[in-house]
Amino acid sequence: MAGPRTQFVMYSGTHTIGGVVAAVSYGRDRVVFEFGAAYDPGTEYFDATVKVRSRHWISDRLRLGLLPAIDGLYRRQDLCGYPLVPAEDSPYNTAVFITHLHLDHMAFMGMVAPQIPVYLHHDAQRIERALETVGQGVETLRRDYTDIVPDKPIKVGAITVLPLLCSDESYHDFSFCVTTPDGTIHWTGDLVLHGRQSDRVWRQIDILRKINVDVLMCDCTAFMDSVMQMMYKTMDPSVIKPSKDVPEGMLTEQQFYDGLFANIRDCQGLVVFNYYQREMGDVRQLLDWAAQVRRKCVFEPDAAYVIWKFFGTAPAVYLPDAAPYCQADRAKLGWLTELLAHAELVTAQQIAADPAGYMLQNSYPYIMELMSLPSQGGIYLHADGIPIGSFDPAYGNMVRIVKQSGFRYVTFFCENYFGHGYPCQVKYFVDAIDPQMLIPCHSYNPERLLPNHGVRLIPKLGTVYELSDHVLKEKVD
């Protein structure tokens, strides 16, 4: 009688930015890697108007196709009759693995039944707990998470997951090498090949070549139309030649940060910045820059609380003139009372008296604060914050308000800098590993990443594939 075979199912992430959810199983052992939401604000069901139903918070998302329909992952009470096997009745020994704390990789992890381990680095756990306290975290059962230790294999029955460290800043970034008795499947996570810690990513070529990885699931976000047009003036992937180098005219991550700092250094007025509030590495950089140019770095309360809980030191705080920070509402927020007991409070009047003495964080929900701030000689520095680009309907509104307020808008993102590996670098990475099978994903245009010698597969979502002769083949019943 034939024994178990390694099976692979991809549930989402083939033609989206983020939202990669895939499962590898061997017999009754199963690992699921990533549990995020594809970043597509233009098609968001639960916008600022449509409310999430409390009892149906999971089942409604399953019915809308937002959550992966996977047996054995959700509590019976949360399924509300949706036809999936509840976690309580699952025959699988399951574990979920999260590469890093970006929402497109982990937005739904709090919905996984508490009895199923979810692996997340302990620094990411600290940030997530603080975000949940201020109402910016994932929707969650307030479940526990299990720590990931870099380069320490994790056993899930007959399956081994090797977490390879890509960056030790902030929440830590990982890729996952999943090994079963039949072979190895590697998921790159976000593939940043021009970052300040890119040596950690490039070293994976040697590791994966020694392992002789069978299937490489590879992030190819940068193969989208806008980047192809910007770099190659064509959508033809045959023009992409493999190279480790950053293409001419494009920036490394360090050059991106150098450009941000140059604008701060040269600014004669108030510096307002919008950053991604999960990035503690960026916070450390911003605080360092502020010290260099002798400015006080000030944060909105929710961002300041996360910074305090992560670093142990509370930064200066600015209270926006909006709920929930109005005088009448402040006492209702226990975390805010706790924060203000440890932080210096900076007012709009103080900033107006000395604009060149401050750097002020401003998030999109409170962008109208710009109308009360001194704009002469000032800049609004879009430092990879939300909304992130023109594909988000809110982005144009942000730019309009900034310009109407009188601040000069400054950005590098999606103009001559991109946060994921450039196409030529990704092609070099894939060609150097030369897997038996390539699965390009985390991209609107995965078909543009071409393998060197191996087979390319863009999986049919929800279809079961079996690992046979080092390649995935659709299971035939």
Task: Give per-residue pLDDT as tens, 35-59.
Answer: 999 877 666 767 667 888 889 999 9
Q: Are 173 and 52 in the same domain?
A: yes
Question: Residue 1: is its pLDDT beyond 70?
Answer: no
Q: Are 320 and 210 contacting, i.e. CB atoms less than 8 angstroms apart?
A: no
Q: Are 391 and 426 in the same domain?
A: no
Please check whether residue 375 lies inside any domain of the structure: yes
Q: Are 310 and 164 in the same domain?
A: no
What is the value of pTM for the model shown? Answer: 0.94
pLDDT computed for residue 83 by the predictor: 97
DSSP 131-158: HHHTT-S--------B---TT--EEETT
pLDDT in tens, 421-465: 999 999 999 999 999 999 999 999 999 999 988 899 999 999 999
CA dihedral of residues 376, 380, 381, 383 (deg, nearest 10): 160
183 sits in the region (left: phi over 0; alpha: psi -120 to 50; else beta) called left
Phi, psi of 2 (to 5 degrees): -65, 140
Report the C-alpha gap between 206 and 160 in whole angstroms.
19
Domain of residue 427: give its range.
6-226+418-474
> What number of residues does the chain have?
477
Mean pLDDT, residues 466-475 taken together? 92
Q: Are 204 and 328 in the same domain?
A: no
- Which residues, 6 or more positions from 164, have their beta carbon under 8 angstroms from its beta carbon? 150, 151, 174, 175, 176, 177, 204, 207
Q: Could you say which of 355, 389, 410 is where a domain stops?
A: 410
Whole-number mean pLDDT of the chain?
94
User: Which residues, in sequence order, are bridge partners of residue 409?
Assistant: 380
Q: For residue 380, what is the domain's CATH number? A: 3.40.50.10710
Q: Are 351 and 459 in the same domain?
A: no
pLDDT computed for residue 95 by the predictor: 98
Q: Are 461 and 433 in the same domain?
A: yes
DSSP 287-310: HHHHHHTT-EEEE-HHHHHHHHHH
Report the C-alpha gap between 189 and 226 in whole angstroms.
22
Q: Are 91 and 140 in the same domain?
A: yes
Q: Are 13 and 19 contacting, i.e. CB atoms less than 8 angstroms apart?
A: yes
Question: Residue 76: is its pLDDT beyond 90?
Answer: yes
pLDDT in tens, 388-413: 877 788 999 999 999 999 999 998 65
> 246-277 burial, b for 16+ CB within 10 Å, e for fewer?
bbeebbbbeebbebbbebbeebebbbbbbbbb
Q: Are 43 and 23 in the same domain?
A: yes
Q: Are 98 and 32 in the same domain?
A: yes
Report the C-alpha gap between 13 and 30 in whole angstroms.
19
**% the chain with pLDDT above 70:** 97
Residue 81: closest CA among 64, 63, 108, 54: 63
pLDDT computed for residue 106 by the predictor: 96
pLDDT computed for residue 43 by the predictor: 64
Report the C-alpha gap between 125 and 114 in whole angstroms.
15
Question: Residue 347: is its pLDDT beyond 60?
Answer: yes
Q: Are 160 and 293 in the same domain?
A: no
User: DSSP 3-state assignment of 179?
Assistant: strand
Report the C-alpha gap between 455 and 113 in whole angstroms.
36
